[in-house]
Amino acid sequence: MPRRSGSMFWRIFRQLLRASRGRLTVALIALTSGAAISSALLNINLDAEQKLRHEFRTLGANVVVAPPSAGSDAALADASIIDRIAGAGASQLVAAAPYLYVAANVGTQPVILAGTWFDQVAKMNSWWKVDGAWVTSRDDSSHCLVGQAAARQFGLAPGSHIDLRAGERSVSLTVNGIITAGGDEDSQIITSLDVAQNLAAAEGSILGRIRGMIFWTIMLILILTTLGVLASMAALAMERSRDVGLMKALGGSVQRIMRLFLAEAAALGVVGGTIGFAIGVLLARWIGGRVFGVAISPRLAVFPATIILAVGVALLGALPLRLLGRVRPAEILRGE
């Protein structure tokens, strides 16, 4: 009974994989490594910022409203949301305050800066112990409150001056009070929302640069991966030139023969991408724990992105096999 040629295609495909498993394993290792690092970086890029924002504040208010995504603009609070919160059920509302967290520096040492409304902070956190005085004006842009741990770290007391810097922007503030909150705030500096927004804009540009760095790192890794795959495929192409010459002599069209090789490369990409994604998730967790102190959660969107990148790299790396389409069967069969 004649069979569809599709089944013969997969029959040859399987034998081809089996016959070349040594070279293909080398290519697969290259692809898996590239996919793993790319997947880890993509996961970190997507998850780290949001994860840090959630970690910043999990206690201290009944309701926390956070921006939904991790874009650079998302770090800036939308004033209209604050108005809507204040408007909804205003009669039961004791206090409401926006919080904008910014990673800043005092000298060379990092510190978390929390921008908020000073007048609401006292109402929401009446149990805080304050050495010195609260800042009472909501938009006071020249004073700040400092958590007791941060004060100890930077040697601050009420009346001290502190210079805060984020990227190329800086601000000089006077410490109004040292707070003991019994929570994360003890290691933070609390400023007005305006001061935090001003510094956050600089932080946004830093985040943009970090993302740019991650993008180019991924590109570089993909180029190196492509070179690794190219090397394996070039050796494979040398081994297969006689077979391709023979297939052409038997009446095999270039398209039909190349379809085999491209399917082989695509399969390598899918397998390498899948394994690489799994390794990348573990790698991202490890890097997250070591660098940020938080576990990076895997993002599902990274999986198809990793597969697409790995398949793309595999097809690009299969260029030497594609060039086999040019072999002249008479020359190959003569042994030239």
Partner 1 sequence: MTPLVQVENLEKRFDAVRALADVSFEVEAGEWIAIIGPSGSGKTTLINILGGLDHPTAGRVVVDGMEIGQLSERELTRYRSDKIGFVFQQFHLVPYLTALENVMLAQYFHSITDEKEAAEALRRVGLAERLEHLPAQLSGGEQQRVAIARALINHPKLILADEPTGNLDEENEATILKLLHELHSAGHTILVVTHSQAIGNLADRRVELEHGRLARITLPVR
Where on the chain is the footprint of partner 1 (CB under 8 A)? Answer: 1-5, 7-9, 11-12, 15-16, 18-19, 242-243, 246-254, 256, 328-330, 333-334
Number of CB atoms found within 10 A of residue 165's CB: 16
> Of 5 and 108, which CB lies nearer to partner 1 in the complex structure?
5
Bridge partners of residue 162, in order along the sequence: 173
> Of 172 and 253, which CB lies nearer to partner 1 in the complex structure?
253
Number of CB atoms found within 10 A of residue 298's CB: 19
Query: Taking the complex as a whole, how short is the minimal distance between the CB of residue 248 and partner 1, in angstroms?
Result: 7
Q: Which amino acid is at 234?
A: A
Query: Taking the complex as a whole, how short is the minimal distance between the CB of residue 261 and partner 1, in angstroms?
Result: 14
Which H or E element spans position 169?
A: strand 169-180
Structure tokens at 250: 């038997």
> Of 168 and 336, which CB lies nearer to partner 1 in the complex structure?
336
Categorise residue 150: left if φ over 0, alpha if ψ from -120 to 50, beta otherwise: alpha
> Of 7 and 91, which CB lies nearer to partner 1 in the complex structure?
7
Query: Taking the complex as a whole, how short is the minimal distance between the CB of residue 276 and partner 1, in angstroms?
Result: 28
> Of 55 and 331, which CB lies nearer to partner 1 in the complex structure?
331
> Of 1 and 300, which CB lies nearer to partner 1 in the complex structure?
1
Cα 53 to Cα 15: distance, rounded to the nearest angstrom: 52
Query: Taking the complex as a whole, how short is the minimal distance between the CB of residue 5 and partner 1, in angstroms?
Result: 5
> Of 136 and 253, which CB lies nearer to partner 1 in the complex structure?
253
Query: Taking the complex as a whole, how short is the minimal distance between the CB of residue 323 and partner 1, in angstroms?
Result: 16
Query: Taking the complex as a whole, how short is the minimal distance between the CB of residue 73 and partner 1, in angstroms?
Result: 55
Cα 298 to Cα 243: distance, rounded to the nearest angstrom: 44
Q: Which amino acid is at 15?
A: Q
Which H or E element spans position 163?
A: strand 161-166
Cα 225 to Cα 237: distance, rounded to the nearest angstrom: 18
Which H or E element spans position 211?
A: helix 193-249
Query: Taking the complex as a whole, how short is the minimal distance between the CB of residue 238 and partner 1, in angstroms?
Result: 15
Query: Taking the complex as a whole, how short is the minimal distance between the CB of residue 320 and partner 1, in angstroms?
Result: 19
User: What CA–CA distances, in Å, run from 244 to 19, 26, 37?
Assistant: 15, 22, 35
DSSP string, 97-142: ---EEEEEEETTEEEEEEEE-HHHHHHHTTT-EEEE----STT-SS
> Of 197 and 232, which CB lies nearer to partner 1 in the complex structure?
232
Biggest alpha carbon–alpha carbon distance for the chain: 95
